[in-house]
């Protein structure tokens, strides 16, 4: 006979309850298996019979690349073979010994169980550099098999001696959980559906509730295992530290850089988010600082945004650098900075630190579901002017370049939108965005343009494009 224990805990207020436990209790106390938002993109790639390109799935380690691909393949109708080349060293060695593409095909059919009209999924493909030379044949000479290659450091697959096969690959970059995925993992599916619908009205109580939960997203980040730990009332910070340690060790081993240089670079980027970054910030010579930054960009750990003016001859500005996960930013920023809150952090100096984290979150939302080579730019009026816009979103389907300014503020002031207005006037664009913690609404409208304030929890690329179509 099984007995049931009912535990009743009293809190002084509902607010205290949410501060102590933002997760809703589930039957097993864990985050249920959930579908990633970008699974639909990969499914469309595989279902498009007109496309035969090799699909490259990139992203940092442990963001869920392999799990996402496996879930798509398992839910599909085609047969598939999946091989993890990092774990299956025997198969990796056999692949590296193949003499040519025909030899590779025979190996897959004879020794690995591959069949025609199926999908070949090679995980951690960078462990077999010989695969880069087969990509042309994957597309042009193997119509009966579709190939998916995944990896956290695909730059090691396409070495300096190997040209990336233009027109023969399609890529998709996987990042840690978005806010909607964060919500679903915490069993807030209705809220996730709501923020994904580009709502034109958000009730005041729901706005505050979403900001409360977003505070936790800013703190924990989006690594799937860290969010699952949060959902199970366990320490997400311990999980993040373990992920960082594994990532640091792996990077140092495969890129031949000291682990201390990796850690120093992560700490420097975390401390300067939202500000122009210099190689001199890193504790190394400029040569090695540039090399390690380039490698960490290739591993999708560091993200870089370059500013441009409308005059391409005068756009030599320092870039801004960000990290691929908000939880890592929080673990590596200055140890004296406490956990930041959009609603409760009021000190101006701490709001500055919050602003950088805010920008990082928006950038990840703009890049979600895009190619690994997708870049987001920013605008600066000139080298002599302080007028700039954080991000410019290319919207070719709408014929627009949408300026996006990030402000970690609860209310929007005139100065928060002036730079967006200047860009719109200079480029004759009709729509701009300010992302903040203020409620959804128009903050400036003229005969020439409209500037919409979008709360941080709604600031996804798809929502911004939907709002740009609205007849404001």
Q: Quick check: helix, strand or coil at residue 396?
A: coil
- Spatial CA neighbour of 174 closest among 322, 82, 64, 72: 64
Distance CA 138, CA 271 (A): 44
Lookup: tokens for 353: 């630190």
Asked whether the beta carbons of 167 and 139 are under 8 A apart, the reply is no
Which pLDDT belongs to residue 316? 84
Helices and strands (DSSP H and E) totals, the chain: 17, 14
Asked whether the beta carbons of 258 and 249 are under 8 A apart, the reply is no
- Spatial CA neighbour of 243 closest among 367, 63, 68: 63
Which pLDDT belongs to residue 314? 78
pTM: 0.89
Which pLDDT belongs to residue 6? 36
Which pLDDT belongs to residue 12? 39
- Spatial CA neighbour of 147 closest among 156, 162, 135, 159: 135
Phi, psi angles (nearest 5°) of residue 242: -65, -40
- Spatial CA neighbour of 305 closest among 193, 388, 416, 369: 388
Q: Which residues pair with 303 in a beta bridge?
A: 322
Buried b (16+ CB within 10 A) or exposed e, 121-144: bbbbbbbbbbbbebbebbbeebee
Asked whether the beta carbons of 453 and 436 are under 8 A apart, the reply is yes
Domains and CATH numbers, the chain: 39-173 (3.40.50.300), 194-468 (no CATH)
Which pLDDT belongs to residue 336? 60
Mean pLDDT, each 10-residue run in order, the chain (472 residues)? 39 37 40 81 92 94 96 94 96 97 97 95 94 94 96 78 73 96 97 97 97 95 97 96 94 90 94 90 92 94 94 86 95 74 73 86 96 91 92 96 95 93 96 97 96 98 96 72
Asked whether the beta carbons of 157 and 132 are under 8 A apart, the reply is yes
Which pLDDT belongs to residue 33? 61
Task: Look at strands 441-445 and 450-455 and give their pairing.
Answer: antiparallel
- The sheet carrying 307-308 orders its strands as 307-308, 377-380, 388-395, 400-406, 431-436, 450-455, 441-445
DSSP assignment letter at 276: B
């Amino acid at each position: 006979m099984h007995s049931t224990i009912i535990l009743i805990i009293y809190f002084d207020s509902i607010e205290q309850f949410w501060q102590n436990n933002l997760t809703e209790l589930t039957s097993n106390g864990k985050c249920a298996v959930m579908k990633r938002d970008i699974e639909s993109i990969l499914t469309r790639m595989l279902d498009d019979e007109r496309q035969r390109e090799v699909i490259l799935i990139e992203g940092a380690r442990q963001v869920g690349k392999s799990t996402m691909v496996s879930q798509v393949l398992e839910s599909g109708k085609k047969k598939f073979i999946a091989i993890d080349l990092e774990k299956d060293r025997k198969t990796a060695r056999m692949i590296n010994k193949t003499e040519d593409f025909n030899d590779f095909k025979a190996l897959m059919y004879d020794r690995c169980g591959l069949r025609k009209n199926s999908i070949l999924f090679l995980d951690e493909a960078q462990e077999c550099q010989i695969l880069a030379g087969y990509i042309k044949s994957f597309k042009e000479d193997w119509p009966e098999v579709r190939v998916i290659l995944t990896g956290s450091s695909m730059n090691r697959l396409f070495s300096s001696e190997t040209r990336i096969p233009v027109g023969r690959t399609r890529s998709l970059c996987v990042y840690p959980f978005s806010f909607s995925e964060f919500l679903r993992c915490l069993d807030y599916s209705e809220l996730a559906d709501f923020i994904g619908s580009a709502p034109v009205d958000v009730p005041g109580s729901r706005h505050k509730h979403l900001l409360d939960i977003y505070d936790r997203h800013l703190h924990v980040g989006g690594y799937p295992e860290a969010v699952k730990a949060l959902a199970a009332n366990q320490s997400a910070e311990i999980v993040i530290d373990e992920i960082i340690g594994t990532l640091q060790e792996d990077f140092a081993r495969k890129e031949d850089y000291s682990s201390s240089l990796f850690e120093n670079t992560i700490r420097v980027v975390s401390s300067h988010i939202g500000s122009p970054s210099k190689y001199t910030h890193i504790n190394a010579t400029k040569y090695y600082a540039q090399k390690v930054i380039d490698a960490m960009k290739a591993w999708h750990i560091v993200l870089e945004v370059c500013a441009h003016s409308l005059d391409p001859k005068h756009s030599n500005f320092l870039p801004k650098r960000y990290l691929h996960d908000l939880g890592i930013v929080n673990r590596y920023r200055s140890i004296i900075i406490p956990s930041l809150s959009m609603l409760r952090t009021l000190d101006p100096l701490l709001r500055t630190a919050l602003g950088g984290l805010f920008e990082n979150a928006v950038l990840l939302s703009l890049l979600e579901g895009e190619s690994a080579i997708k870049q987001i730019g920013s605008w600066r009026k000139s080298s002599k002017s302080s007028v700039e816009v954080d991000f410019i979103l290319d919207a070719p389907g709408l014929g627009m370049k949408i300026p996006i300014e990030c402000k970690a503020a609860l209310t929007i002031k005139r100065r928060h939108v002036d730079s967006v207005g200047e860009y719109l006037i200079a480029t004759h664009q009709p729509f701009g965005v300010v992302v903040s913690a203020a409620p959804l609404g128009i903050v400036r409208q003229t005969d020439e343009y409209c500037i919409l304030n979008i709360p941080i929890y709604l600031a996804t690329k798809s929502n911004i494009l939907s709002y740009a179509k609205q007849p404001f």
